[in-house]
Structure 1
């Protein structure tokens, strides 16, 4: 389904229609928001803030959530071996590590600092995923799958649903 089939073909057609519809510099800058050099310092600063405010467990769980991203994304990339939009000879594009990193880092930071920052986290994650697709680094389904994975990681790190609340 991810590599072959009607959904994959639709994904590929959509990608071909979207790639390079904005200047490459813009789409590259957007996709860089999900890179570890940009997203991790944001999360680390939020973790330090939460730790200083006495929310040590929350800071720890945010860090564990981020550590889970490569532990889950890398094996999934190996398992699916999906080729890239602009590099059909290369494999390992599903799911998008940059998107999962952005989602976990920015939402994790928002949850640690202020829930009012959740819309900012959503925008940063959406910009990252959009940039990855528009630049041709990832298929749309790669980004969507990473969003789902990132939400599951954050949900698990938060302790899941709370009973009686």
Structure 2
């Protein structure tokens, strides 16, 4: 938890204070923007849209409720609800311009945050019902990473916008991960 907090604080400070990481971030962003097939990178960026990510989480919530989970779906829904409550004020406070616009409010990335929490929470809710429980978190990580790559390559966000969102959402998802492990230990005591 302290690692996510420290990385979020460092990233936010560098972006807000126009530090050396921000300069490197912007050079890197300019170097990669527009690379990759436009349709593919747009598709990847769209994975962070609420219209795409929230139905995935909604299906996982219903699945978990049908299978008798109560606390975990509530925690996952509250975690998703926390995303705009944290991201929107940070965007307003930092007021970072985007790569291809003078408009502000690009740090942290709301799309990257939505993708990480929606896919991550969905993976945590459904992993216990798969033969290989590790596959769901890996799939969520791939979707989250793909979203971030699409956002940067399309020029919608700087790389640090995406990383800042991931650090923030790592903090948000950690209690869900820890609670899931504690609940499993309580239901399945060691033999």
Corresponding position: 1:106 with 2:119: yes
Instruction: Spell out structure 1 runs of 4+ moving beyond 6 A.
Output: none
Contact 1:46–1:112 under 8 Å retained in 2: yes
For 1:96 and 1:58, how far apart are their aligned partners in 2? 26
CA displacement at 1:56 relative to structure 2: 1.1
Contact 1:61–1:158 under 8 Å retained in 2: no
For 2:68 and 2:37, how far apart are their aligned partners in 1? 44
Residue of 76, 79, 98 corresponding to 2:90: 76
Runs (5+) with no aligned partner, structure 1: none
For 1:34 and 1:96, how far apart are their aligned partners in 2? 9
User: Map of 1:145-156 to 2, 5 A cutoff?
Assistant: 145-156=164-175
Deviations 1:27-75 (A, max 9, x none): 1110100110000000000000000111011011100000000000000
Larger Rg: 1 or 2?
A: 2
Runs (5+) with no aligned partner, structure 2: 1-13, 128-132, 186-191
For 2:140 and 2:176, how far apart are their aligned partners in 1? 17
CA displacement at 1:6 relative to structure 2: 1.1
**1:31 counterpart residue number:** 45
Secondary structure of 2:93's match? helix
For 1:92 and 1:151, how far apart are their aligned partners in 2? 21
TM-score (structure 2 length as normaliser):
0.81
CA displacement at 1:158 relative to structure 2: 4.7
For 1:2 and 1:124, how far apart are their aligned partners in 2? 25
Corresponding position: 1:42 with 2:61: no
For 2:41 and 2:141, how far apart are their aligned partners in 1? 17
